[in-house]
A = this chain, B = another copy of it.
Amino acid sequence: MQQISGGITAPKGFLAAGVCCGLKTVGNDLAIIYSQEPCVAAAVFTSNRFQAAPVSVSKQHLASASAFHAIVANSGCANCATGEQGIRDAQAMAEITAAFLNIPEDSILVASTGKIGTFLSMDKIKAGIRDALSTLNKEGGLAAAEAILTTDSVPKQVAVKLVIQGKQVIIGGIAKGAGMIAPNMATMLAFLTTDAMLSKELLDKMFRNAVNSSFNSITIDGDTSTNDTATILANGASGVVLNESDLDVFQAGLNHICLELATMIVRDAEGATKLLKIHIKNAPNQDMARTIGLSIANSTLVKCALFGADPNWGRILCAIGNAGIDIDLGDIDVYVGQMQLVKNSCAWEFDHAEAHRILSMNEVELTVDLKQGDHEAVVLGCDITTEYVGFNAHYST
């Protein structure tokens, strides 16, 4: 696997564009990703029971269509809590694009991010779609990555080149992050493309695997947004149809793209100063490991301690105990970097100054050894800062 430059337009056969149509006060706010060749698609959506209109519409299209050609996404408005009008507007985003491209409506997936409870300005959307379609190009990936940002400070894109059956297969992706979005909750959007060909079932399974250990293993503040969408299009333009023996290589590439994008999202979390990488080792199974990791990463107290570089391991044990996991908690070791803080779930002598130094770095690795199984998971989180609270408090809708 080789990481290469570019994002969603790195794989063969994909064009993209990002344009400014006035939904945000500044910057690109409408993105289109397009493949002339029909694509197989897979997607994972928010687990929040409130779902934004574009999530509903994209789900319908994924259920009804077998070939996909484009993703249309906007920032600046989440089109959520907008009722029937919101559904009509999300459908119209697909209809307008389909009419211009002369393709079926349900071959298009839609996504939105931004303010909740406001309606899309469809005049702006229509003009933006026309503008984007007229500028679709092979270098448009970065402009598209910019067009889905809200309070993110940097665009996020990555691509890898794999060699499969002696040929070049590329996977690319863009994402927008989970800093809090003024004035509402974060949306995690990720769009991936690949020029490999594989069945819908296989793409779905492999994409879910990759999402579980990346986008589903990160947390900023524990609030799952109403608009979260991760989707992948595979157009087969590489000429490679994946065989059984190619799956490990492709899965590794997919995992790499998703984990890189997920890491970029956490690094760019609003107000955060530190990335926390939690490694849960020797768990009875991977789900338990991830649940425990997320419980630690979501603990406000752990996040405060991380902000202050305080080796306050009692908060870590407390969060493990609150994870709702039915395992023995009597024998846990906790390390920060290489330094042991807890042995067999009990206090352990360590150098507090050195622990403080390790916790002061902008990337902190925490290891929890449960000693009861051989499964593991890595979860990414961040600190909570006074800046985060201030930002999310003092914006008035």
Contact = CB atoms under 8 A, between A and B. Distances in A.
Interface of A: 47-51, 78, 80-83, 115-118, 180, 183-185, 221-226, 298-301, 304-305, 307-315, 317-323, 325-326, 329, 342, 344-347, 352, 356, 383-386, 388-390, 392-397
Contacts of A318: 48, 50, 116, 184-185, 223-226
Given A81-B342, A185-B314, A300-B392, 18 more contacts: A48-B318, A48-B321, A48-B322, A49-B326, A50-B318, A82-B347, A185-B318, A221-B301, A222-B299, A223-B322, A224-B318, A226-B318, A301-B392, A304-B392, A310-B393, A312-B395, A352-B396, A384-B389
Closest 10 pairs between A and B when the two form their complex, measured CB to CB = A308-B393, A116-B314, A50-B321, A304-B392, A117-B347, A48-B321, A386-B386, A307-B393, A184-B314, A49-B321
Contact of A308 (B305, B326, B383, B395): B395
5 contacts: A49-B321, A80-B314, A226-B318, A304-B392, A307-B393
A397 B312 contact: yes
A386 B387 CA distance: 8
Contact of A321 (B117, B222, B226): B226
A241 B325 CA distance: 42
Contacts of A81: 314, 317, 342, 345-347
A393 B385 CA distance: 8
A347 B80 CA distance: 9
A141 to B, nearest CB: 30
Nearest to A302: B223
Contacts of A298: 222
A327 to B, nearest CB: 8
A386 to B, nearest CB: 4
A222 B300 contact: yes
Contacts of A312: 183-184, 395, 397
A230 B334 CA distance: 30
B393 A347 contact: no
